Amino acid sequence: MKRVLVVDDEESILKVVDYALSEAGYDVYTASDADGAESVWAQVKPDLVILDVMLPGKSGLDIARDLRAASDVPIIMLSARGDEVDRVLGLEFGADDYVTKPFSPRELVSRVKAILRRTGGPVDGRALISIGDLQIDTLSRQVRVADTLVHLTSSEYRILLHLAGHPGRAFSREAILSALWEESPVGDERAIDVHIHNIREKLEPDPKSPTYILTVRGFGYRLSER
């Protein structure tokens, strides 16, 4: 059974999310602040973390940053304000997705399922994809550039894998968003730009002059063929 840690200082939110995820078959752990989250994390090592942005003391963004420095665990941010700044910062701090309050418990469960379902299997039967110094091992889900291991979030890896399945082919932001979620796309295209920025920061020798993920002006992105 997959373990999910939910961190929110609103007791009503914790109860609703706990119930919805438990009904969906997940083992749910809750915390109301950073200390509680760190304690649960150390004990159970959850498979996914849901974090509220606004928490007493250390913010959810700070917790996300700390988690990302130590682990590749998928992270979903909750934002009460619906503020694009919150959403962008969450993605930049390593979150895989965000949900704006008030939200439908069914939608949140759907996003949890989608993220945990991403296994990153072989693309077109290939276990290893090589483009220049970039190597993607689809069995171990490891990405290397010039033999240096690169740590990507679940969403970053999924986007890179999709582009790598068709080197040289241009994909619109909408198409990338659809591939990211497989079924019904959720989120907005601005999130794709943030994810691409983060991937470039990790892959490219000079992110301002990328050689792997190229921008197709006015359309989207493509992966270099060499």
Same-domain status, 8 and 105: yes
Give the span between the Cα atoms of 168 and 177, in whole angstroms: 18
The total domain count for the chain is 2
The pLDDT value recorded for residue 177 is 84
Q: Does residue 196 sit in the same domain as residue 93?
A: no
Question: Contact, 107 vs 186, CB < 8 A?
Answer: yes
Same domain (yes/no): 37, 82? yes
Q: Which residue stretches of the chain have pLDDT < 50?
A: 119-125, 183-185
∠ CA 71-141-46, nearest 5°, is 35
In a domain, 136, yes or no: no
Examine the domain organization and report whether 175 and 111 are in the same domain. no
CA distance 121 to 56: 40
Looking at the domain assignment, is residue 154 inside a domain?
yes
Decide if 86 is inside a domain: yes
Per the structure block, which two tokens stand in for 19? 């119930």
User: What does the CA dihedral 48, 72, 31, 2 come to, rounded to 10 degrees?
Assistant: 30
Helix (H, G, I), strand (E, B) or coil at 21: helix
14 and 92: one domain?
A: yes
Residue 84 has a pLDDT of 64
Output the pLDDT for position 85.
Answer: 62
Q: What share of the chain is helix, strand, coil (3-state, %, to 5)?
A: 40, 25, 35
Q: For residues 159 and 81, state if they share a domain.
A: no
**Can you give the CATH number for the domain in which 78 is found?**
3.40.50.2300
In a domain, 134, yes or no: no
pLDDT of residue 129: 84
Identify the pLDDT of residue 223.
93
User: Would you say 103 and 20 are in contact if contact means Cβ atoms under 8 Å apart?
Assistant: no
Taking only the tens place, the pLDDT of each residue in 144-199 is 998 899 998 888 888 998 898 888 899 999 888 877 765 444 556 788 898 999 99
- Does residue 126 lie within any of the structural domains? no
The answer on 112 and 170 residing in a single domain is no
Domain match, 37 and 79 both: yes
Q: Judge whether 140 lies within some domain.
A: no
Supply the pLDDT for residue 69: 83
Residue 173: CATH number of its domain: 1.10.10.10
* Cβ neighbours of residue 48 closer than 8 Å, sequence gap 6 or more: 2, 3, 4, 5, 73, 74, 75, 76, 112, 115, 116
CA-based nearest residue to 132, from 215, 204, 216, 220: 204
Domain that holds residue 178: 150-223
SS3 assignment, position 159: helix
